[in-house]
Structure formats: structure tokens, C-alpha cells
Amino acid sequence: MRNALLVTGLVLAAAASASAAPVTFDTAATPAGTTYSQPAFLPGDVLFTENGTVVRGLNFTQGNFSAFNSAFIEPAGGSFPTRAMGLNNVQVRFDFTGLGFTVTQASFEYFDFGGSENLGVNGAYVELANLDLAPAFINGVAVSVVAPQGNTPGLVTFTSLAGISSIQVGGQEFVMDTVRAIPTPGALGLLGLGGLLAARRRRA
């Protein structure tokens, strides 16, 4: 029975860890060369789902300008060593509500090759000339931006103990990769521990 409890805990912990896997655009759902644009996709449509994160396309805006042009999957060896997502006058939203845990930190890597950006969290966004001009808070969520340096991508990080249900970004000549959703510290371990305790109660 002790071995069974250990296996139960390991299985649950592994399942929880899988739920926290990043969106890397490297799965079968996002083959290189795929383009998400009208008329096949419209603003608000689900583009794909990877590791429990639902990705939607949204209008890109700057002042009176609004467009839904295209998001596309770059092949490996483009801006990033592996496949990545390029944005051309479009926003994408990453919805974490189906992951099964409260996300308290989310991040993505990026390269910006020109144009303006949109950046948002939990359904609200701001229009920016460059991401490194982002405010310290958007919609009550802390925002940190480290700009790209040479071949090293930039990093945008959102942090909120109250929870992050979604993040979004839009660009004009923009490439992104490795979207991470991180739970409250210790949450994944607690999920595994919960499985062990439940098994012990059933044994009793």
C-alpha cells in the first residue's frame, strides 16, 4: 500500500506539472508555416490550444487604427532556435483558466523588429510605442519588461497574487515564444500531497 501511495502522489504531481507546461508553438497544433488570418479566423476566435492554454486572436489597436491581419508560426531557426509565433497587426490572448490552478506569474519571451505593441492582462490592455515603455502595473497586475539584447530575447513578466486569468500581446513586426503560466509557489506540490492524503483516508 505504501508503494501505491507513492505512485499515486507521483502521478498526481506529474499531472500537475504537465498542466504548467509552457506554450512553445512546437506542438502538432502549430506546424511551421501556419498562418492565422481572415477569413478563416476572425477576432475572438480560438487559434489553437496547447498544454491547456487557449490562444485567441484579437484586433490590434493604436489610437483610431484597428486591424486583424495575421499571426503565423515561424520555423525553427528563425528569430528563435525553435518554432515561435510572429505577429503582424494582430493581438493574441493566452487564457489560463483551464489549467486547474491559480496562476500568479506569467511570462513570455520576445523580439521586436519595429512598430508598436499592445500589452494586457486579465482582459485589459494598453497601447505602447515599445514594450519597454510599459507601466509598472496593468489592470492591478505588476509588469516587468526586460528588453532584448542582441540575440538574447526580451522577457515580459506579469505577477499578481490575486491571480492571472489571461495575458495578451500584439505587435506589428513582433515574434514571441515560451509563454509560461506559473502557479502559487508550492501549489503543484500541494496537489500531489492532496492525492496522498486522500489515498490515506481511503485506506483508513
Q: What is the count of structural domains for the chain?
A: 1
Q: Tell me if 68 is assigned to some domain.
A: yes
Cα–Cα distance between 148 and 5 in angstroms, integer?
46
Q: What is the pLDDT of residue 186?
A: 57
CATH number of the domain to which 37 belongs? 2.60.120
Q: Tell me if 190 is assigned to some domain.
A: no
Q: Tell me if 13 is assigned to some domain.
A: no
Contact (Cβ atoms closer than 8 angstroms) between residue 191 and residue 16: yes
CA angle 106, 107, 113 (to 5 degrees): 150
Q: Which whole number is the average pLDDT over 186-204?
A: 47
Cα–Cα distance between 97 and 89 in angstroms, integer?
26
Q: Which whole number is the average pLDDT over 58-69?
A: 98
Q: Tell me if 152 is assigned to some domain.
A: yes
Q: Which whole number is the average pLDDT over 118-133?
A: 97
pLDDT higher than threshold 70 for residue 201 = no
Cα–Cα distance between 84 and 141 in angstroms, integer?
26
Q: What is the pLDDT of residue 185?
A: 74
Q: Tell me if 201 is assigned to some domain.
A: no
Q: What is the pLDDT of residues 133-189, one digit of tens each?
A: 999 999 999 999 999 999 999 999 999 999 999 999 999 999 999 999 999 875 544
Cα–Cα distance between 192 and 204 in angstroms, integer?
19
The domain in which residue 121 lies consists of 22-185
Q: Tell me if 157 is assigned to some domain.
A: yes
Q: Tell me if 164 is assigned to some domain.
A: yes
Report the predicted TM-score, pTM, of the whole model to 2 decimal places: 0.83
Separation of CA 145 from chain center: 15
| Per-chain mean pLDDT for the chain | 87
Q: Tell me if 67 is assigned to some domain.
A: yes
